[in-house]
Structure 1
Amino acid sequence: MADTATTASAAAASAANASSDAPPFQLGKPRFQQTSFYGRFRHFLDIIDPRTLFVTERRLREAVQLLEDYKHGTLRPGVTNEQLWSAQKIKQAILHPDTNEKIFMPFRMSGYIPFGTPIVVGLLLPNQTLASTVFWQWLNQSHNACVNYANRNATKPSPVSKFIQGYLGAVISAVSIAVGLNVLVQKANKFTPATRLLIQRFVPFPAVASANICNVVLMRYGELEEGIDVLDSDGNLVGSSKIAARHALLETALTRVVLPMPILVLPPIVMSMLEKTSLLQARPRLLLPVQSLVCLAAFGLALPLAISLFPQMSEIETSQLEPEIAQATSSRTVVYNKGL
């Protein structure tokens, strides 16, 4: 009965959208094709759109109700595909898909850039003291851990100790590497003060990249021990694969290394050139605002590019997996959820 109602609702929406440029709406499905990099890039641009941070409580309720009406076949006439896609975008940006509870604004994916940019600016401040280095690395990893926890897969109970373990590992590795590299640079007498300052600006990247890898491995180590679910082309569960889990963690770790690269490497290069301009030399007070804009631009470009590298539902040939997995299906390939 519910399937018939949904079909009728979909038919009504399709008729109302004959002249619309938006693709036919599919409840719970991405608007853009995920088989191409461009499609994934467009999809993640929607996910991180900061405009959803300003959605009112009333607009959220309307969006949720519109999707419920579509699901139960009670959609009012004249609703367009564009309105349905917009409603789904709002719901997915604000509510956790498993708990259906609102995600705290700074920890939403749409809040990652606006709330994370001040931290990036702090990481890249010149002439940092030991205390400021520790503070900004700690704040960065704390923000990352909160975002990871707020957007976690909550379908299965996961002990909080796993997240604490990942958090502590990330903080310790980030702080240790950043402080260690800063000490080495300070003791390198062959560098001129200008060269030393430039090198110090690149210190946050290896610290953050290594901490990100540490965070992924520690928080998802259980997947390597137990495996992750792999599905056939029809969405049927084939089994649990440790090899697929290794692929998933490798792809996620690579993404976490690529992500901070433009954010923490490009701004120092750009700022080292801008600081030589007569405008900034005559107005040193503009240095911080300009650096903030440069970091914001780099962050806004890097985030969707990095998370678009691999499909969230990745494909792997069954011949590469455990023999029992290959024997359990006739499909040449299976898919698994890589995670973000």
Structure 2
Amino acid sequence: MDANLRFWRAEGQSFFQRFLLWADVLDPLLLLKSSDEIRRTRLFIQNSGKTLSEPIKNDQTKQAFLLSLSSVHPDTGKIIPVMFRPPAFLPICLPLVIVSSLQRQAKKNFFCQFVFHMYTTGFALLNGNGTTKAEEYSVQQKQIFYGLGAISYAACIGALPVVFMNRYMLKSSLTQLVVQKLLPAPLLGLMSAFTVVVVRSPEFENGIEVMDRNGMVVGVSQKAGEKAVKETALSRAVLFGTTFFVPTVLMHFVERAKFWRTPHSLASMRMLAITSVLVGMLPVSLSMFPQCGEIKRADLEPELLSSTEETELFYNRGI
């Protein structure tokens, strides 16, 4: 079992522990570390002989693990490209979400949604489970092909409310509230979950590795892959659905106040609301499920039951 997974298993047992860890891991300053420094950090972790049987009290060791968690894939051991590391997720996604929420032209809204889903899909692909058991080249081709289709579909669905409003010029205030303000939030959440499921489909089609408590690989499980993808998709839907919904509801009441009538002030408040919700919801959504996921032995495939007597097995959930 990789050191990253051992760390999550030892230090991230509860939601609160995972939340505090993610708050540190998402620090954008970690993006400034060079590849050589990351490799030296990984070597330090490996040579330190830390068993992680008890909480880490040494600050140097903890900082080394935070850099490893933010930069290295726990399955492959490779350094993740800078743009797709967890600390880069917020700085890149935030302007895309804000622009998408403010855009009222169908073509521009589609383009913004396309760029947004392209990034989040690439993030899901590069931070997914890296132990999919199939021919690597064919799996990567399939994921890229499926991903492009999912991105295009998600962008089209996400732009539908704007298209509908521009084409039919709805006069009913209730219909405008539902179509223009309330509908985009669940659509963005559902489409974000959809792209995760599509791009990581090889995980539940071919299975991912499951390990015992000692980190020894027991076998490959499709059910573990399905569980990992479902949990990640749900967390992504909650993240972006909430990020769109809460500011929309807040701005609906703000717009009704007579002293908030200027377009610039309304736009500024909307951007501030989206920023605040996204900053708060990102570590919350990532903490919903453990990174080192658990699955009961009884839930595994019959052919794996004879491979171990342990009641619980572990796998990398991905991000």
Q: Is the 2:193–2:237 Cα contact (8 Å) retained in structure 1? A: yes
Residue in 1 aligned with 2:18? 40
The question of 1:210 aligning with 2:187 is answered: no
Per the TM alignment, residue 109 of structure 1 is displaced from its structure 2 partner at its CA by 1.3
Q: Is the 1:173–1:214 Cα contact (8 Å) retained in structure 2? A: no
Change in CA separation of 1:66 and 1:110 when aligned onto 2, cut-off 3 Å = closer
Change in CA separation of 1:188 and 1:291 when aligned onto 2, cut-off 3 Å = closer
Residue in 1 aligned with 2:121? 145
1:92-130 Cα deviation digits (max 9, x unpaired)? 4345564654623x432112112211111112116x121
Per the TM alignment, residue 206 of structure 1 is displaced from its structure 2 partner at its CA by 3.2
- Structure 2: tracts of 5 or more residues without a match: 49-56
Whole-angstrom CA distance in 1 between matches of 2:63 and 2:276: 25
Partner of residue 108 from structure 2, selected from 132, 153, 171: 132
Q: Is the 1:231–1:238 Cα contact (8 Å) retained in structure 2? A: yes
RMSD: 3.2
Residue in 2 aligned with 1:330? 309
The question of 1:82 aligning with 2:63 is answered: no
1:248-273 Cα deviation digits (max 9, x unpaired)? 22222222221212111011111222
Whole-angstrom CA distance in 2 between matches of 1:31 and 1:334: 12
Whole-angstrom CA distance in 2 between matches of 1:26 and 1:96: 8
Residue in 2 aligned with 1:222? 202
Mark the structure with the bigger radius of gyration: 1
Change in CA separation of 1:299 and 1:32 when aligned onto 2, cut-off 3 Å = farther
The question of 1:111 aligning with 2:88 is answered: yes
1:5-41 Cα deviation digits (max 9, x unpaired)? xxxxxxxxxxxxxxxxxxxx99972497322111111
Matched residue count: 304
Residue in 2 aligned with 1:191? 172
- Sequence identity (%): 28
Pairs within 5 Å for 1:155-174 = 157-158=136-137, 159-174=139-154
Change in CA separation of 1:232 and 1:84 when aligned onto 2, cut-off 3 Å = closer
1:275 counterpart SS class: helix
Partner of residue 176 from structure 1, selected from 118, 135, 156: 156
Per the TM alignment, residue 167 of structure 1 is displaced from its structure 2 partner at its CA by 2.5
Moved more, 26-35 or 163-172: 26-35
TM-score by length of 1: 0.76
Change in CA separation of 1:26 and 1:130 when aligned onto 2, cut-off 3 Å = closer
Pairs within 5 Å for 1:244-283 = 244-281=224-261, 283=262
The question of 1:303 aligning with 2:282 is answered: yes
2:7 counterpart SS class: coil
Residue in 2 aligned with 1:293? 272
1:76-99 Cα deviation digits (max 9, x unpaired)? xxxx81133223323443455646
Per the TM alignment, residue 141 of structure 1 is displaced from its structure 2 partner at its CA by 0.7
1:151-184 Cα deviation digits (max 9, x unpaired)? 4556774544233224323222222323434444
Whole-angstrom CA distance in 2 between matches of 1:48 and 1:93: 7
Moved more, 218-227 or 85-94: 85-94
Change in CA separation of 1:148 and 1:249 when aligned onto 2, cut-off 3 Å = closer
Moved over 6 A (4+): 25-28
1:303 counterpart SS class: helix
Tell me: higher relative CO, structure 1 or 2? Use CA pairs within 8 A at least 6 residues apart: 2
1:184-229 Cα deviation digits (max 9, x unpaired)? 455485622x751563133332332332233223222222222221
Per the TM alignment, residue 296 of structure 1 is displaced from its structure 2 partner at its CA by 0.9
Residue in 2 aligned with 1:14? none
1:314 counterpart SS class: strand
Moved more, 284-293 or 178-187: 178-187
Whole-angstrom CA distance in 2 between matches of 1:322 and 1:70: 34
Whole-angstrom CA distance in 2 between matches of 1:26 and 1:214: 27
1:234 counterpart SS class: coil
The question of 1:121 aligning with 2:98 is answered: yes
Partner of residue 234 from structure 1, selected from 209, 214, 222: 214
Residue in 1 aligned with 2:70? 93
Whole-angstrom CA distance in 2 between matches of 1:224 and 1:149: 14
1:230 counterpart SS class: strand
